[in-house]
């Protein structure tokens, strides 16, 4: 099945478990507005129970599950069936986040299932040493972020960003690279794209800001400037 296409640079808004229901939908609609305004591809994650609602209300977003399993139709009480996600309008899934890690064996199985269904895989890696091994599984996108920096408001230094970008692209230039962890300002967004990354995004830097909508505006303006400076 054909997958959604990601144009460089793109943006990820990942509310994790900070938001759900109507509050999650409000943030998604703001991302939808900015996706249209700036003509960016925007990945928006949500709680599994909210994914179908957001997919219906926000057709310009790449609605994304925060996790997926390799389960096949049949037995599997309490687990997440990939076909159900696809039917709900899900176009992508995060995998192997530091808060929900997978073994390499299970990660490979989930990537295979996602490929069967045309679901983009966005796989997280931590240290530079992990990056090549995960890239060898050929996900569609890799999130390079140091676990120690998640939620701190501090980004990785440029050497980490450049090194992980280069490692991923050395395995396959088709794998998109997203630099994350600690992204909380427009300057952080600009820095990530300047490093050579294809995308960036945030969680607490957005949802915990005094005005999340204003913070999104700031980040999208910076992404637009970075597109002009580095992606033409």
Condensed to tens digits (0 to 9), the pLDDT of residues 170-216 reads 999 999 999 987 899 999 999 999 999 999 999 999 999 999 999 99
Residue 149: pLDDT over 70:
no
Domain CATH code at residue 179: 3.20.20.70
Model's pTM, two decimal places? Answer: 0.95
In a domain, 5, yes or no: no
Partner residues linked to 177 by β-bridges: 142
How many domains does the chain divide into?
1
Name the percent of the chain lying above pLDDT 70.
Answer: 97
Q: CB–CB of 27/56 below 8 Å?
A: no
Q: Answer yes or no: is 198 within a domain.
A: yes
Q: Are 35 and 42 in contact (CB under 8 A)?
A: yes
Which one, of 89, 91, 84, 108, lies nearest residue 10 by Cα? 91
**Does residue 71 sit within a domain?**
yes
Domain that holds residue 65: 10-230
Q: Is residue 1 part of a domain?
A: no
Q: Which residues are catalytic?
A: 97, 145
DSSP 8-state code for residue 75: S
Residue 75 lies inside a defined structural domain of this protein: yes
Q: What is the mean pLDDT of residues 110-135?
A: 93
């Amino acid at each position: 099945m054909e997958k959604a296409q990601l144009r460089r640079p793109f943006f990820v808004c990942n509310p994790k478990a900070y938001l759900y229901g109507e509050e999650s939908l409000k943030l998604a609609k703001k991302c939808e507005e900015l996706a249209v305004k700036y003509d960016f591809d925007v990945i928006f994650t949500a709680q599994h129970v909210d994914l179908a609602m957001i997919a219906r209300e926000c057709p310009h977003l790449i609605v994304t599950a925060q996790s997926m399993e390799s389960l096949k139709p049949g037995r599997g009480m309490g687990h997440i069936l990939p076909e159900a996600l696809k039917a709900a309008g899900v176009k992508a899934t995060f995998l192997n986040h530091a808060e929900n890690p997978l073994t390499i064996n299970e990660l490979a199985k989930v990537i295979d299932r996602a490929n069967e269904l045309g679901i983009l895989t966005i796989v997280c890696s931590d240290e530079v040493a992990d990056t090549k091994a995960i890239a060898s599984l050929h996900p569609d996108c890799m999130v390079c972020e140091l676990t120690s920096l998640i939620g701190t408001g501090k980004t990785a230094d440029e050497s980490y960003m450049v090194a992980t970008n280069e490692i991923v692209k050395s395995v396959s230039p088709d794998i998109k690279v997203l630099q994350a962890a600690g992204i909380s300002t427009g300057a952080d967004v600009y820095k990530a794209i300047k490093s050579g990354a294809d995308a960036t995004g945030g969680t607490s830097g957005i949802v915990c800001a005094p005005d999340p909508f204003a913070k999104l505006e700031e980040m999208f303006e910076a992404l637009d400037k970075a597109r002009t400076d580095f992606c033409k």
